[in-house]
């Protein structure tokens, strides 16, 4: 296998780090053992990632040397005939209807003009050093704006603050469907309202609005910062990776998952392509 020498070397280096004083202890292991890996399509990978961290038993904070950090970027493509885009009927709420002068389409499968796929969530599922990644101090934000969730799909970290905002002058009721984290289900009646949440466990949390049946979004809670959502041109980019061999997974809410293996050396940038076929 290409890159096995590099992989072995990084394993050795890693071992050296792991067996430094201060390691050991159950830490997240007890949590993970009590919460077996989800087999559901939308939760398995994060659960594995959590278990990988737990298995090593290390809670040491991981720092990445910027001088040798690597990048994995690429494109999520779509092949076949895109499903017919259906415009959303905002008629159930006159406020929502009044917020749109142009048609807005459902976001279940968003195929870009260049035959790529938007809202695929691309993430590292295997290969990261064991230990703890520090969550960003800046919060993640999900906004109820124009009676849609913005962003529709995004990633954030365990321990990071999520701001749940209403930018519309109508009552939204955000209802999260986590399996491991504490559930949430509350209304925000007017524009400018904000609530905060912090999630303890990695998983994919679907969110829906109990008042507006078309509103749906997905929050990917991760134990590490190595993720990216494909954009209007199908592009994704994962930066600041330690050199190593990784499994990269692309997740899509209705088209499933695809995985790819990649090895990046010091300061290297590798390009990946995922293709989802029409169902
Ligand atoms: Cu709503």
Residue 161 CB burial class (10 angstroms; 0-12, 13-18, ≥19): middle
**By the 8 A CB rule, do 247 and 259 touch?**
yes
User: Per-residue pLDDT averaged across 99-105, rounded?
Assistant: 96
Strand partners, 207: 176, 217
Tokens of 260: 């790819």
Give the separation between CA 96 and CA 99, rounded to whole angstroms.
Answer: 5
pLDDT of res. 108: 95
- 186 Cα–ligand 1 center, Å: 11
Residue 60: band (very low, low, confident or very high) from pLDDT cuts 50, 70, 90: confident
pLDDT of res. 62: 93
pTM of this structure:
0.79
Question: Taking phi first (over 0 means left), then psi (-120 to 50 degrees means alpha), and beta for anything else, what does residue 7 get?
Answer: alpha
Kindly list the structural domains of the chain, giving each domain's residue range(s) and its CATH number in brackets, ordered by start: 64-277 (2.60.40.420)
- 243 Cα–ligand 1 center, Å: 43
Q: pLDDT tens across 133-155, in order?
A: 999 999 999 999 999 999 999 99
The mean of the pLDDT values for the chain is 85
- 85 Cα–ligand 1 center, Å: 21
Give the separation between CA 192 and CA 269, rounded to whole angstroms.
Answer: 41
**By the 8 A CB rule, do 79 and 41 touch?**
no
């Amino acid at each position: 296998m290409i890159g096995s020498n590099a992989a072995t070397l990084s394993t050795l280096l890693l071992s050296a780090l792991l067996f430094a004083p201060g390691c050991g202890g159950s830490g997240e292991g007890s949590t993970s053992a009590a919460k077996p890996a989800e087999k559901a399509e939308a939760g398995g990978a994060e659960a594995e990632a959590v278990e990988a961290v737990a298995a090593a038993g290390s809670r040491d904070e991981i720092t990445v040397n910027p001088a040798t950090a690597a990048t994995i970027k690429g494109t999520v493509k779509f092949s076949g005939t895109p499903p017919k885009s259906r415009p959303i009927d905002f008629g159930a709420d006159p406020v929502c209807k009044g917020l749109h002068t142009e048609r807005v389409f459902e976001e279940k499968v968003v195929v870009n003009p260049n035959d790529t796929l938007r809202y695929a969530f691309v993430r590292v599922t295997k290969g990261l050093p064991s230990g703890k990644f520090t969550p960003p101090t800046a919060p993640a934000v999900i906004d109820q704006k124009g009676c849609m969730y913005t962003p529709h799909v995004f990633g954030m970290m365990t321990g990071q603050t999520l701001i749940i905002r209403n930018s519309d002058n109508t009552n939204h009721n955000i209802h999260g469907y986590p399996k491991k984290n504490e559930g949430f289900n509350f209304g925000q009646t007017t524009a400018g309202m904000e609530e905060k949440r912090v999630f303890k466990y990695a998983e994919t949390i679907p969110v829906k609005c109990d008042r507006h049946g078309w509103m749906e979004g997905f929050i990917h809670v991760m134990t590490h910062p190595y993720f990216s959502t494909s954009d209007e041109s199908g592009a994704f980019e994962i930066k600041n990776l330690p050199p190593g061999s990784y499994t990269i997974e692309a997740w899509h809410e209705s088209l499933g998952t695809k995985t790819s293996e990649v090895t990046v050396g010091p300061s290297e940038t590798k390009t990946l392509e995922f293709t989802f076929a029409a169902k």
